[in-house]
Structure 1
Amino acid sequence: MKPADLPCSAHPLVTLRHLERDDARAWYAYLADPVVVEHTSWDLRSIDDLQSNFDDYASARPASPMRLAVVLRDGGQLVGTIGLNAISLQHRTAEIAYDLSPVVWGKGVATSVVNSVVGWGFQRLGLLRIQATVLESNERSIRVLERCHFAREGYLRSYRQIRGKSGNFWLYACIAGMS
């Protein structure tokens, strides 16, 4: 993906760019915060646990997962990531995933970057459906998805292991042309 092909954030605090290996330290710093991971499926024991993700995100394969850095416009500090996983070109679907540092919580950043990536996925990638799975306890993310016109479609019992325990998730989806 060229920089011109990236989604643009309309939020005045942040912009989006390619996620780079040099971002690992800042990414791990906020993902190591128990408040951040409490309502996610991240299970990192060290910064090394992030490294394999960079190989996946750097792949040139058309349906490989993509992850973007959410950075402050002023200074370029990494304050989050957002991307698309489980991309199916055949079915024109993908799953959105994101995480943010608490320094930008409550400022509308999540809503802005989710809307940006969803719009870009529909317009530039030709996707028809973008879904999200969210841990049932993650009320902040549920509110973001609902503000971004995602509809709750189902309840996924024991969907993923969350640090050694079964976690229940809500399934949300946004359909092109329906928001």
Structure 2
Amino acid sequence: MIEQIHTKRLFLRKMKMADSYSLFKIWSDPEVTKFMNIINFTHEEQTKEMIELFDQLAEEHKAIRLTIIEKESNEIIGSCGFNSFDVERATAEIGYDFAKAHWGKGYASECISALIDYAFTTLSISKIEAKIEPGNSNSIKVVEKLNFTFEGTFQEYEESKESFYDIHVYSLLKEN
């Protein structure tokens, strides 16, 4: 499974327990978690539990989450990865989050492009999906910029934060 990926400005590596404080600062921001399937964290222990869950999912080859580090500052600025793998269908679902201070700098496109390349060249994935809440216009812009195709909307598809919500599904197919 993925250990690390380098891009021009970012270093993506397997999440470590030592990342918990920096990730807690990100995941405790309600604006960051607004479109995530978690409620903003209130204790660093929640972050440690999430890292343990990601480790378990990675061991089972079900998902992988990477810490995003800005090379210039060596600062943890978010996380990204594959929320799920479906080996039989050769599909993976991407996900990502960034500290608000790093929004609008093109980091999402940069890290997702690297994940796409890795999935298509190394993981034998042929289709990548992104599931995005309709109100998350920034993420919609990212996947559209990366040539994802809008497949449709699942109504009341996911439950999070004690209610069901619609989800847009976008996909990108591997070019043969």
Give the SS at the match of 1:118: helix
Deviations 1:122-148 (A, max 9, x none): 101110011011111100001001111
Q: What corresponds to 2:50 in structure 1?
A: 53
Among 124, 129, 132, the residue aligned to 2:130: 132
Q: What corresponds to 1:30 in structure 2?
A: 26
- State the shift of 1:38 in Å: 1.9
Deviates further, 110-119 or 156-165: 156-165
Say yes or no: does 1:117 pair with 2:115. yes
TM-score, structure 2 length as denominator? 0.89
Cα contact 1:63–1:89 (8 A) shared by 2: no
Cα 1:153/1:105, change in 2 over 3 Å: same
| Aligned equivalents of 1:81, 1:119: Cα separation in 2 | 17
- State the shift of 1:62 in Å: 5.7
Q: What corresponds to 2:103 in structure 1?
A: 105
- State the shift of 1:49 in Å: 2.5
Gaps of 5+ in 1: none
Cα 1:41/1:72, change in 2 over 3 Å: same
- State the shift of 1:68 in Å: 0.8
| Aligned equivalents of 1:65, 1:124: Cα separation in 2 | 15
Give the SS at the match of 1:85: strand
Cα 1:45/1:161, change in 2 over 3 Å: farther
Deviations 1:33-83 (A, max 9, x none): 122122322223433333333234334646231111110112421101001
Q: What corresponds to 1:165 in structure 2?
A: 163
| Aligned equivalents of 2:53, 2:86: Cα separation in 1 | 15
Read off the aligned partner of 1:32 and give its amino acid letter.
S
Give the SS at the match of 1:50: helix
Identity of aligned residues (%): 22
Structural RMSD (CA): 1.9
Cα 1:105/1:7, change in 2 over 3 Å: same
Deviates further, 167-176 or 70-79: 70-79
Cα contact 2:80–2:111 (8 A) shared by 1: yes
- State the shift of 1:117 in Å: 0.3
Deviating runs (4+, > 6 A) in structure 1? none
Say yes or no: does 1:18 pair with 2:14. yes
Cα contact 1:56–1:64 (8 A) shared by 2: no
Cα contact 2:77–2:99 (8 A) shared by 1: yes
Give the SS at the match of 1:7: strand
| Aligned equivalents of 1:151, 1:50: Cα separation in 2 | 33
Give the SS at the match of 2:26: helix
Give the SS at the match of 1:167: strand
